[in-house]
Amino acid sequence: MFPLDQLRTLLAVVDEGTFDAAAAVLHVTPSAVSQRVKALEQGTGRVLLLRTKPARLTESGQVVVRLARQLAQLDRDARVELGMAHSGEPATLPIAVNADSLATWFLPVLTGVPAELRICFELHREDQDHTTTLLREGLVMAAVTSSPDPVQGCSVSPLGGMRYLPVASPGFVARWLDRPLRKAVGEVPVVVFDRHDDLQDRFARALTRGRDAGPLRHLVPSSEGFVDAVVAGLGWGLVPAAQAAPRLESGTLVLLDPRRAIDVPLYWQQWKLDSPALAATAAAVAEAAKEALDRR
């Protein structure tokens, strides 16, 4: 059995980012934090933590941190059931969510979680194709993800699909699209969320049977900023239907191809942990997804 004080210390270093910050949270000296982490590493025979700023976990460290976070949650749940938890002591539930879900349907979900559970939600914004990485690393306990393959130790449930529409501003269309989109899409400016975002390329390849979107790319790593950039005429892009609809209605955006859209399936992955906080959050997410996401 791993010593609990060493597990809590490793978890604090990961969550706070540095030994000094962990020491402040735990009310011990940085030297004590270092000694506990070193003792845990000696006990496992593995290097668990890279001493960078912020500190980063090794693969072995990811396994141990998952255990530490699970034990911390189970400890709190048990104390709540026994009436031993202080009334002012909340539970922290870290969740990874993609930016477009955050900007459209996910935040109202959290208001559906019973307030008496006293959960502090810690949201980590990440691309839907990479949220499972945070699960695997033990940094979050649940995630909205595009992967149907469960991370080890996790369960997975389908939520529905998020539909993305190819749109541009009227001014962009007048300036750049004087020929069919199929012929122009590989040359005109495009807006992408970040370097991992391949939605625009997927659309272009489907339209042209193999050709990516053009090389003139504007990276805008914010869901709201992405839409604003497309509305401003910086480039064309794929915008969530919920964000595109009012702008299509007002005429600030136009649909480039009414016959084509990209549907991204989303899933809820969470640790297999018997926790009231996790169960209540999962139920609220599933209920909201029925209304917000495409179920086809």
pLDDT surpasses 90 at 256:
yes
Q: pTM of the predicted model, to two decimals?
A: 0.77
Where does the pLDDT of residue 223 fall: very low under 50, low under 70, confident under 90, or very high at 90 and above? Answer: very high
Which residues have a Cβ under 8 Å from the Cβ of 179 and sit 6 or more positions away? none
What is the spatial distance between Cα 253 and Cα 16, in angstroms, rounded to a whole number? 42
Quote the mean pLDDT of the chain. Answer: 90
């959050």: which residue's tokens? 281
Which residues have a Cβ under 8 Å from the Cβ of 135 and sit 6 or more positions away? 96, 141, 142, 143, 145, 151, 154, 269, 271
Buried residues in 214-248 as b, exposed as e (16+ CB within 10 A): beebeebeebeebbebbbebbbbbbbbbbbbeebb
pLDDT surpasses 90 at 52:
no
What is the reported pLDDT for 190?
97
Where do the structural domains in the chain lie, given as residue ranges?
A: 1-79, 162-263
Contact between 33 and 22 under an 8 Å Cβ cutoff? The reply is yes
What is the CATH architecture of 1-79? Orthogonal Bundle (1.10)
For range 250-266, the mean pLDDT = 94
CATH superfamily to which 162-263 belongs = Periplasmic binding protein-like II (3.40.190.10)
Where does the pLDDT of residue 85 fall: very low under 50, low under 70, confident under 90, or very high at 90 and above? Answer: low
pLDDT surpasses 70 at 84:
no
What is the reported pLDDT for 53?
85
What is the reported pLDDT for 196?
85
Per residue in 99-149, pLDDT (tens digit) is 999 999 999 999 999 988 888 999 998 877 778 888 888 889 999 998 899
What is the reported pLDDT for 267?
96
What is the spatial distance between Cα 9 and Cα 15, in angstroms, rounded to a whole number? 10
Where does the pLDDT of residue 235 fall: very low under 50, low under 70, confident under 90, or very high at 90 and above? Answer: very high
pLDDT surpasses 80 at 88:
no
SS3 for 271-290 is ECCCCHHHHHHHHHHHHHHH
Where does the pLDDT of residue 296 fall: very low under 50, low under 70, confident under 90, or very high at 90 and above? Answer: low
Structure tokens that stand for 159 in this block = 């939520």
Where does the pLDDT of residue 83 fall: very low under 50, low under 70, confident under 90, or very high at 90 and above? Answer: low
Nearest to 239 by CA among 177, 284, 190: 190
What is the reported pLDDT for 220?
96
What is the reported pLDDT for 25?
87
What is the reported pLDDT for 79?
74
Most confident of 74-78, 259-263, 274-278: 259-263
